[in-house]
Amino acid sequence: MAIIKATENDKQEFDSAINELKEYFSSLAVRKGRPLTYNVLTYGCQLNESDSEKLSGMLSSMGLIQSEGGELDAADVIAFNTCSIRENADRHLFGNLGVFKALKKNDRDVIIAVGGCMMKVPENVDRIKKSYPYVDLVFDPQQIHKFPVLLRDAIRKDKQLVNIAADDYIAEDSFFPIDRKRKFRALVPIMYGCNNFCTYCIVPYARGRERSRSFDEIVRELSDLAANGYKEIMLLGQNVNSYKGEDGKTFADILRAASDFKEFSRVRFMSSHPKDLSDEVIDIMGTRPNVEKHLHLAMQSGSDKVLKEMNRPYTIDRFLEISEKFRTKVEGGSLTTDIIVGFPGETEEDFQATLDAVNKAKFDAAFTFQYSARPGTKAAAFENQIPQDVVTERFGRLTELTNKYSEESNKNLVGKTLEVLIEGISKAGDMTFSGRTITNHLVNFTIPEELGIDPGDDFLEGKLCEVRIDRARPYSVDGVLVSMKGE
């Protein structure tokens, strides 16, 4: 499969499609007598979040405004950015597409576009072709820089347009207008795709081969972000630490370059693969104050046999050795993981090995998943698929154990006063604020009136403050603001 860099030619086509669509939508708005809106529905991981910021940026450049209602809000352009990591992710799309059928029936000008990882699974595209004729456009998640051109063509053609290509593209972020969702946090993809082919995983099929952005371009983007007031940088990639830039630049070089910008209070990254995690990266995490002291490292299983079947190239001893190194070198750091339960052939003994490994690693948090067979992956064809009741029972035991350790991790914070980066009003909607520590612990806190801070003002977002932690919950801690930190 070829990897093609988006060219100046692509950029010209991109700009001209955006201009044409701007004119088209502007006359449609006159005809409708109101401004036109868009709704981008995002599923899946932060790479999809990042792509959606680009889709939103493109749609804004076409003169549309973001709809303000909930997820299923009606809009003039509805774009689905799908995820295919587990089966229930797929169900979301088809359920929600049905919701928009009536909308499209009443208004032929409404446009429905579907992209994202699900569209790299041929069965899903066939199903849209067959049963969802009112979808106007199916676009390739590896070629979102072609979105405006395809959207224009779909409108011109007035018939369903499906464009899924075999090539892996790379387009620098500077190619796109980007509407960043949070004014303090910037998602910065540094590499795309995955070469690891874990046997259960759809990502290498959906996202193609690994391709890294240019080091110089990334640093230029970081410098713009610093100048524009961003406080938190999230470096993204399916295997962020297998980044390979020009002149032998590595992920450690990117991490150092990002943390050199003192404007950034937090430099974070997702996701690391155990095989690519260098000592250098651990050293940087232990020594640079604005680099997050949090490592997310997927273990997947505690059994060497299962790891081998999963095509994860490490033993559990090696994994625990890396965890130990992190714990020693990054004082007070937090370690989180992903674990799959019920992989084909997993015996009770294998599962016990996973519980043992959790007891050793004492993860500060864990995302636990029930194995979901993905069409097209190797493991989907394995014999010995585990019956659902066994999976459910093991899953219950595992989450009980991982919850115990995450609550313990939260309890260790009680009584301490910690630096928190404020993310905004907490979801509870009761004027409680939320933010994160440098170890990525979620903190909900109140602001005492006597501090004279106007909590209604969103100027707090992205600021650093000190919070005294006084209560631990399973997934978060509660506290009280002590003081704001100076700029």
What are all long-range contacts of 16-20, with beta carbons under 8 Å and residues at least 24 apart?
Answer: 17/148, 17/149, 17/151, 17/152, 18/58, 18/61, 18/62, 18/148, 20/152
Reduced to 3 states (helix: H, G, I; strand: E, B; else coil), residue 231 is coil
Provide the token pair at 295.
């490592």
Q: DSSP code of 291?
A: B
Please give the Cα distance from 486 to 97 (Å, whole number).
48
Q: Is 301 an interacting residue with respect to ligand SF4 (CB under 6 A)? A: no
142 binds, among ligand SAH, ligand F3S, ligand SF4, none (CB under 5 to 8 A by kind): none
CA atoms within 13 A on the CB side of 295: 32
> Which x/- pattern over 82-101 shows residues binding ligand SAH (rule: CB under 6 A)?
---xx---------------
In what helix (H) or strand (E) does residue 49 lie, and over which residues does it extend?
A: helix 46-61
| Length of the chain, in residues | 487
Residue from 301, 372, 410, 440 touching ligand SAH (CB under 6 A): that is 372
Contacts (CB under 6 A) with ligand F3S, residues 35-64: 44-45, 47-48
Residue from 369, 393, 414, 482 touching ligand SAH (CB under 6 A): that is 369
Phi, psi dihedrals of residue 372, rounded to the nearest 5°: -130, 120
For residues 314 and 445, which CB has a smaller minimum distance to ligand SAH in the complex? 314
Q: Angle 348-361/388-411 helices, nearest 10 degrees?
A: 10
Q: Is 215 an interacting residue with respect to ligand SAH (CB under 6 A)? A: no
48 binds, among ligand SAH, ligand F3S, ligand SF4, none (CB under 5 to 8 A by kind): ligand F3S
Q: Is 201 an interacting residue with respect to ligand SAH (CB under 6 A)? A: yes
44 binds, among ligand F3S, ligand SAH, ligand SF4, none (CB under 5 to 8 A by kind): ligand F3S
Contacts (CB under 6 A) with ligand SF4, residues 253-292: 273
Residue from 169, 200, 251, 269 touching ligand SAH (CB under 6 A): that is 200
Residue range at the interface with ligand SAH (CB under 6 A); choices 21-29, 208-216, 327-335, 368-376:
368-376
Burial 389-416 (b: 16+ CB within 10 A, else e): eebeebbeebeebbeebbeebbebbeee
Residue range at the interface with ligand SAH (CB under 6 A); choices 283-291, 370-378, 452-460, 471-479:
370-378
197 binds, among ligand SF4, ligand F3S, ligand SAH, none (CB under 5 to 8 A by kind): ligand SF4
Please give the Cα distance from 323 to 336 (Å, whole number).
10
Q: Is 277 an interacting residue with respect to ligand F3S (CB under 6 A)? A: no
Q: How many helices (H) and strands (E) does the chain have?
A: 14, 21
Reduced to 3 states (helix: H, G, I; strand: E, B; else coil), residue 53 is helix
For 267: left if phi > 0, alpha if psi spans -120 to 50, otherwise beta; the answer is beta
343 binds, among ligand SAH, ligand SF4, ligand F3S, none (CB under 5 to 8 A by kind): none
Binding site for ligand F3S (CB under 6 A): 44-45, 47-48, 83-85, 117, 202-203, 206-207
Contacting residues toward ligand SF4, per CB under 6 A: 194, 196-198, 201, 203-204, 238-239, 273
Binding positions for ligand SAH, rule: CB under 6 A:
85-86, 200-201, 238-239, 271, 273, 298, 300, 338, 340, 369, 371-372, 374
